[in-house]
Amino acid sequence: MKFTSGYWMVRDGVTPLYAVEYADHRVMGNELVVYAPSKHITDRGDCLNIGMLTVYLSSPAADVIQVSVRHFEGAVYHGPFAQINQANGCGEWVRIEETETELRYQSGNTTAVIDKRPNSWGIRFLDGERVLTDSAFRNMAYMKNTKTGKSYMLEQLALDVDEYVYGLGERFTPFVKNGQTVDMWNEDGGTASEIAYKNIPFYISNKGYGVLVDNEGDVSFEIASEKVERVQFSVQGERLDYYLINGSTPKGTVSKYTELTGKPALPPAWSFGLWLTTSFTTSYDEQTTSGFIKGMADRDIPLHVFHFDCYWMEAYEWCNFTWDPKTFPEPREMLRRYHEKGLRICVWINPYIGQKSPLFHEGMRHGYLVKKENGDVWQTDLWQAGMALVDFTNPAAAAWYQEKLKTLLDMGVDSFKTDFGERIPVRDIAYYDGSDPVKMHNYYTFLYNKTVFELLEKERGVGEAALFARSATVGGQQFPVHWGGDSSASYPSMAETLRGGLSLACAGFGFWSHDMGGFENTAPADVYKRWCQFGILSSHSRLHGSGSYRVPWMFDEEACDVMRKFVKMKCALMPYLYRQAVLAHQEGVPMMRPMFLEFPDDRACEPLERQYMFGDSLLVAPVFKESGEVEYYVPKGRWLNLLTGNTVEGGTWQKETHDYFSLPLLVRPGSILAVGSEVNRPDYAYYEDVTLFLYLPQDNSRAQTCVTDTTGHTVMQVDAQRAGDEIRVHVDSEKGSWKLKVLGEENLRMVEV
C-alpha cells in the first residue's frame, strides 16, 4: 500500500506520524524499549500535543532481533499469530550497551544501533561491522487515513545499490521482487497472475539477511516501488512487529528462519516416487483407474502413488468422506488390490462441507462450522451449494474432522491432497476462539494442514506422513508436500511454475511439486515431455490435470519412453536425493533451491529463475522451448552432465540443444553422488549395492557424503580427497555394500578404500 506521492508529499487524506528522534529508553531484562516522538523536542513545551512511537527490541534467538513498533498500546491486538520458536536459554546471547550518541542492542553477531542524537532518528542493523540495512528519516511511521478512518503502521528498510529481494511466498511474478507491490492475501488465482496460494511475509536479501513481518493479516509490501531505495511493509492497526534474521548468507538465513518457524517434516521415501491421478472433472470408475495402473505396468513405467481427485465422492457432497457407491461400490477391496500392486493411495479433500453432505448437519448441530457474528453458520454457493467451513480454532471440530479422515486411513488410504484453504471469508465472521477474521484468512490453512498432518503422523507414524497441499502461510513448511496450483499447459506456465517454486524455497519449503504437463487445457506432446523431465527432477512428481487424463500414452508413445527413463533415473538417484531430504528436514534448506542460495558470491547467479540446484550437487536447467534449445549459467569449475558425460567449464553461459531424453543435469565439481541399484522403487535399502560416483576434477579437492536408510538414519559416511592422479577414499559403514566409480576421468587411481 502506498502512502506517499513522490518523495516529499503524502497522499490526499493521509496524516503521517514519523519517528523523528530518540527521547528515552528503558531496559527490562533482555528487552530494550525506546521512545521516539514525532517531532524534534527543544524544550518541555514541545512534549505536549504530539504523538510518539514506542519501539520494543527483543531477541528470541541469537542473530534474530524482533522489532515491535506501537502507537496506541491500548488497542486490542488479536491473533492468530505465527508460532515462533524461542531458543533455549535466558537470552545470554543478548547485550545492551549505551554511549553518549548510541544505544546498541546486540544479539549474537547482529546488532541494532539506535541513533540518540537530536533530530536524527534511525536504527542500523549490522552483521559484525557490516551494515545490513537501516530505518532512518521518515521511514518508521504511523499513518492515519482521515477519509476512511483506518490507521496503519509501516516500516521502510534500506536497499543497497546492488541489493535484490526474493521470496514472499510462492510468487509466479519475476523471481527478483525489486519494483513489485506484493500483498499477503491467499487466493485461488492460478499461476498466471500476482495472486498467490502461499503468501509468506518473509523476504531474504542477497546481502544475507531476511525480514519476517509477524502479522497474519493483509501485510502489504512495496519493494523498491514506492521508494526505490527501500522495502516498505505496512499493516492496518496500531502495531507492527517484524524480525530481522541474520544468517550471514542467504542459505544461513533460510535455515535460521526455519529454526524460528519450524523445520519441514521428513516425508516418507515412497512419496518421492511417481504419483498419477484421475485428473479433475474427468469421468472415471474403478475400471478406469485399474486401466491406468495396468497401462503403466504394461509399459514398464514405475508407478508408486495413485491419487483419486474430487469425484471419488458424490457431487454436491464435497466433503462427505464417503466413496461414491455408483462408481466405487467396494472401495476397501479396491484399495487392498492396489496395495498388493505396491501402490500407495491418496485421496482429495478440502475443509469445505457442502450442505447436501450429511456432515453439514452434524457439524452445524455440534457447532463445528464457522459462524457469522449473529450465530448463523456462514455459507456460500461458490464451489459447493450451501457449503460451510470447518472451524479449526475449535479443538473439538478439529478432532471431529480427524475422526472422519481416520475412517479412510483404516480403509487403506495413505495420504491426503489437502486442496483449497484460500477462500476464507473475513466479513461478519466469529471464530470459536475469537480470532481476528482478517488474520484467520491466511492462517486458516496452517490449522487445516496441521490437523490433517498430525492425524497422519499419529496413525501412520512419524516419518510416514505426507500431504499434497496447495495453500500455506508462515510455518506451513512443517507439513509437506506442497504443490504449485493450477498452471496451464504451456511453456510460459511451466516457467512461471518454476519461479513460484524458487520463491517458495526462500521460505524454507523443503519439498515442492507441480502438475506435470500443466493443469488447465491439455498440453501438446512436446510440452508434456519437457514438463515430465522437470517434474521428475523435482522433489515430488505428480501427473495431474483438468478435463483430460495425464497418462503418457494419451500424448504419444515417445512420452512413455521419456517417462520411463526419468522415473527410473530418479529411483536410482534416491540414495542421493533422500540424503538431501534429510538435510532439508534437519537444516531447513530446501531440496530445490535457487542458484543464489547455493552460490552467494557469484553475482551472475542472483537473477537466475530458469534453473536450480537439486540438492547441493546437481544443477537442473529445464528446457522451455519446442526447439530443444536451452540457455543456462554454470558457476565456476568443471561440471559434468550426468546424462551425456560431457563436461562444461563454469563461469560461463551455455547454449545447447537437447532431445526429450536429455537436458542440462550437471554434477557439481567436488561431489560424491550416491546412486542405488533399484530403478523401479523409491523406497529400498539405499546402502545395498550403492555406487559412489566420485567427481573430483581438481587437484586437492575433497568431498564428503552420507547414505541413509529410509528413516533418515545415517548408515554410511564417505570421504574422498584427490592428490594428483590419486583419490583417497574412506568409507565408514554400519552395513551395506558399495562400489566406487570415478566420473569424468579414466586415469585416476583410488587408494585406501
CA Rg, the chain, in Å?
A: 27
Measured from the Cβ of residue 457, the count of other Cβ atoms closer than 10 Å reads 15
What residue ranges in 121-179 does DSSP mark as E strands? 123-127, 130-135, 141-145, 151-158, 165-169
Residue in this structure with the C-alpha cell 540424503, named with its chain if needed: 579
Which one of 155, 241, 419, 616 is the catalytic residue? Answer: 419
Residue in this structure with the C-alpha cell 469445505, named with its chain if needed: 352
**Of 419, 439, 412, 423, the residue nearest 388 (C-alpha):** 423
Q: Taking a C-beta distance cutoff of 8 angstroms, is the pair 726, 751 a contact?
A: yes
Which one of 21, 155, 422, 464 is the catalytic residue? Answer: 422
**Catalytic site residue 419?**
yes
Phi, psi (degrees; rounded to nearest 5) at 566 = -80, -35
Can you tell me the distance from the alpha carbon of 533 to that of 642, in angstroms, rounded to the nearest whole number? 14
Q: Taking a C-beta distance cutoff of 8 angstroms, is the pair 513, 537 a contact?
A: no
Pairing, β 618-620 against β 612-614: antiparallel
**Catalytic site residue 422?**
yes
The DSSP element (H or E) to which 114 belongs, if any, is: strand 110-115
**Of 463, 460, 443, the residue nearest 405 (C-alpha):** 460
Can you tell me the distance from the alpha carbon of 18 to that of 153, in angstroms, rounded to the nearest whole number? 10
**Of 503, 527, 502, the residue nearest 515 (C-alpha):** 527
Residue 139's Cβ-count burial label (10 Å; 0-12, 13-18, 19+) is buried
Which one of 486, 526, 656, 678 is the catalytic residue? Answer: 486
Exposure class string for 298-323: b at 16+ Cβ within 10 A, else e? ebebbbbbbbbbbbbbbeebbbbbbb
**Catalytic site residue 486?**
yes
* Amino acid identity, position 583: L
Measured from the Cβ of residue 10, the count of other Cβ atoms closer than 10 Å reads 16
Instruction: Give the residue numbers marked as catalytic.
Output: 419, 422, 486
